[in-house]
C-alpha cells in the first residue's frame, strides 16, 4: 500500500436519495461534517460551486481526514448514522490506492487505527543505505 497521510471518506448516495445538490441532502452532508468537526477532528469537505453564483456551494459527499491526528469515535458513528438513514447508502474509505466499503463503526475505527499505525511505522523506518 502506498504511503497515505490522509484517508478519503466518501458518503455514497443510494438510488432512493434526493438529488445530490438538493437542500435536504446537502443538509445531511453538512450535518455529518459539523458533527465530526465538533469532536475536534480535522476534516476537509470536497465542495462544488455553481458558475456565476458565488453563494451557491455544496458538498459532494467526499471528505479528507489527516491521519496524523487523534480520530475519535464520532467520525465512525456519524458516518454510519448517515448510512443507516437511507437504505442503499455506502460509506467508503480510501487509503492510498485501496478502497473499503465499511459496514460497522468498529470496522471503520479499525481501518483508521491500522492506517495510522502504518503511517507511524513508515515515518519511523530508516531507509537502508
Smallest CA-to-CA distance from 13 within 29, 36, 34, 32 is with 29
Percent of the chain with pLDDT over 70: 87
pLDDT at 36: 96
Q: Which H, E and C letters describe 61-110, residue by residue?
A: EEEEEECCCCCCCHHHHHHHHHHHCCCCCEEEEEECCEEEEECCHHHHHH
The whole-number pLDDT of residue 53 equals 56
15: which residues sit within 8 A by CB, 6+ positions away? Answer: 88
First-residue to last-residue Cα distance in the chain: 22
Domain ranges of the chain: 6-124
Q: What is the pTM of this model?
A: 0.85
Instruction: Give mean pLDDT, residues 113-123.
Output: 82
- Choose the most confident range, by mean pLDDT, from 41-55, 88-102, 109-123: 88-102
Residue 34 pLDDT > 80, yes or no? yes
Burial 27-45 (b: 16+ CB within 10 A, else e): ebbeebbebbeebebebeb
Amino acid at each position: 500500500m502506498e504511503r497515505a497521510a490522509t484517508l478519503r471518506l466518501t458518503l455514497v448516495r443510494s438510488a432512493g436519495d434526493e438529488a445530490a445538490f438538493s437542500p435536504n441532502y446537502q443538509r445531511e452532508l453538512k450535518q455529518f461534517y459539523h458533527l465530526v468537526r465538533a469532536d475536534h477532528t480535522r476534516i476537509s469537505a470536497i465542495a462544488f460551486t455553481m458558475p456565476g453564483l458565488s453563494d451557491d456551494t455544496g458538498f459532494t459527499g467526499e471528505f479528507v481526514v489527516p491521519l496524523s491526528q487523534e480520530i475519535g469515535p464520532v467520525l465512525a458513528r456519524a458516518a454510519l448514522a448517515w448510512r443507516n438513514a437511507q437504505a442503499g447508502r455506502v460509506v467508503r474509505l480510501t487509503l492510498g490506492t485501496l478502497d473499503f466499503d465499511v459496514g460497522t463503526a468498529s470496522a471503520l475505527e479499525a481501518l483508521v487505527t491500522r492506517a495510522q499505525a502504518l503511517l507511524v511505522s513508515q515515518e519511523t523506518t530508516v531507509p537502508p543505505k
